[in-house]
């Protein structure tokens, strides 16, 4: 009987412990199971990125090849107008602005060469205008007398010498021309014409505005023909230019070297480049840009997209290299500028490495 009681008590204790464990009251020390297919950062710094995650993050790679690349110098520059494809519209005399036949043009409006943009009605001091009006009245009175005298001489043409009639005709013509000139000066207006075919880059005109002589009213530029001016602090660079380019967004715009100035500006030598590309309408006159000047000297390295460069926690420049179908390793690299879209990696890579060119930012954020 005692033996049956002990067995029953043992079974009761075992069932009670199993029930407590079944209700989840004793799982505090258990650890969750990790997902083996999720992107993770490995202890050695590499990243495990499954194929599904690579497609979702749009990760793209490219094989790099070693070669001789032009040593490039990065210069600060700005966009300036081509003197043959742009111009300024200024008033030659002070006066009041009036709209042209099509009204006052606005910024960005297309105009043609020779098109009237506005009129400047000349203004004069009250005393000067009164003197001109008095002189005009005298000339008109003298012209009236000259007309009557010429009419009398023509009636007596049989008895009056021909030279007197010709002198009277000449005097009448002179008085008429002088009166016309003074009368036109009183109400004259100057037409402001577009110097080139292009678009209005800047406008400083409103109806009724009073402008002074040589005051800038409009700027007209051809957006498909612009110049780039860069400042070089090394004067020897002007004799070592093999090519140049700038980056407009993700587009590579080649530049043609025009020449270098022969006088310094702010202790730097201005270099002028010409650009004629369809992407140039994205630029504006006065916009600061970075000019990449390729020299004749070479450097041994790899051309890598600028989007591939990342920073590690130590603030070192790195690129991500695909070493296995689902494994990416960071490589510390040293770079030099190339063309604004790509950079030259001089150390840290080997020929045939697959470098991440798209999605490198997302790979770098995996923890």
Mean pLDDT of the chain: 82
**pLDDT-based confidence at residue 140 (cuts at 50, 70, 90):** confident
Answer positive or negative: Cα dihedral of 123, 128, 134, 140.
negative
Q: What is the DSSP letter of 318?
A: E
* Between 212 and 11, the higher pLDDT residue: 212
Measured N-to-C along each axis, helices 126-155 and 162-186 cross at an angle, to the nearest 10 degrees, of 160
> What does the block give as tokens for 210?
């009073």
With beta carbons less than 8 A apart as the criterion, state whether 339 and 247 touch: yes
Instruction: Quote the pTM value.
Output: 0.64
Element spanning 235, H or E: none
CATH of domain 93-221: 2.40.50.100
- β partners of residue 216: 90
Q: What is d(CA 78, CA 230) in angstroms, rounded to the nearest whole number?
A: 7
What is the pLDDT confidence band of residue 36, given thresholds at 50, 70 and 90?
low
Query: Is the predicted pLDDT of residue 31 greater than 90, yes or no?
Result: no
Classify domain 73-82+223-298 at the CATH topology level. Answer: Elongation Factor Tu (Ef-tu); domain 3 (2.40.30)
Using alpha carbons, select from 284, 139, 321 the residue that is nearest to residue 202.
284
Percent of the chain at pLDDT > 70 equals 85
Neighbours of 95 (CB within 10 A): 21
Give the 3-state secondary structure of residue 33.
coil
Question: Per-domain residue ranges for the chain?
Answer: 41-69+299-364, 73-82+223-298, 93-221
Q: Annotate 148-211 with DSSP letters as a single string.
A: HHHHHHHHTTTTS-HHHHHHHHHHHHHHHHHHHHHHHHHT-EEEEE-SSSEEEEEE---TT-EE
| pLDDT band, very low/low/confident/very high, at 254 (cuts 50, 70, 90) | confident
For the segment 120-129, the average pLDDT, to the nearest whole number, is 72
Residue in the structure block whose two tokens are 């390729």: 294
CATH of the domain spanning 41-69+299-364: 2.40.420.20
Q: How far is the C-alpha of 292 from the C-alpha of 338, rounded, in Å?
A: 7
Q: How far from the centroid of its chain's Cα atoms is residue 19's Cα?
A: 74
């Amino acid at each position: 009987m005692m033996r049956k009681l002990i067995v029953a008590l043992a079974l009761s204790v075992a069932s009670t412990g199993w029930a407590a464990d079944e209700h989840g009251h004793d799982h505090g020390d258990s650890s969750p199971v990790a997902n083996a297919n999720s992107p993770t950062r490995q202890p050695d710094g590499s990243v495990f990125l499954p194929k599904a995650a690579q497609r979702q993050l749009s990760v793209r790679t490219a094989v790099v090849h070693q070669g001789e690349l032009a040593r490039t110098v990065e210069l600060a520059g700005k966009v300036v107008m081509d003197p043959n494809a742009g111009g300024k519209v200024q008033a030659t005399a002070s006066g009041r602005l009036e709209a042209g036949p099509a009204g006052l043009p606005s910024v960005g409006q297309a105009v043609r060469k020779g098109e009237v943009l506005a009129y400047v009605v000349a203004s004069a001091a009250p005393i000067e205008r009164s003197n001109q009006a008095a002189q005009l009245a005298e000339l008109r009175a003298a012209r009236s007398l000259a007309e009557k005298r010429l009419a009398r001489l023509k009636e007596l043409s049989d008895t009056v010498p021909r030279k007197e009639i010709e002198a009277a005709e000449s005097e009448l013509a002179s008085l008429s021309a002088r009166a016309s000139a003074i009368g036109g000066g009183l109400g004259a207006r100057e037409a402001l014409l577009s110097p080139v075919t292009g678009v209005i880059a800047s406008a400083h005109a409103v109806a009724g505005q009073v402008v002074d002589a040589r005051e800038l009213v409009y700027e007209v530029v051809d957006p498909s023909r612009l110049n780039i001016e860069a400042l070089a602090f090394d004067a020897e660079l002007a004799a070592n230019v093999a090519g140049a380019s700038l980056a407009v967004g993700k587009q590579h715009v080649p530049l043609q070297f025009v020449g270098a100035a022969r006088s310094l500006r702010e202790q730097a030598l201005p270099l002028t480049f010409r650009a004629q590309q369809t992407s140039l309408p994205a630029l504006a006159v006065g916009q600061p840009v970075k000019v990449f000047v390729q020299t004749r000297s070479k450097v041994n390295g790899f051309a890598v997209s600028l989007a591939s460069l990342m920073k590690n926690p130590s603030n070192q420049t790195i690129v991500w290299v695909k070493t296995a179908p689902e494994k990416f390793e960071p490589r510390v690299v040293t770079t030099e500028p190339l063309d604004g879209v790509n950079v030259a990696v001089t150390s840290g890579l080997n020929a045939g490495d697959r470098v991440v060119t798209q999605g490198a930012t997302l790979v770098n954020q995996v923890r």
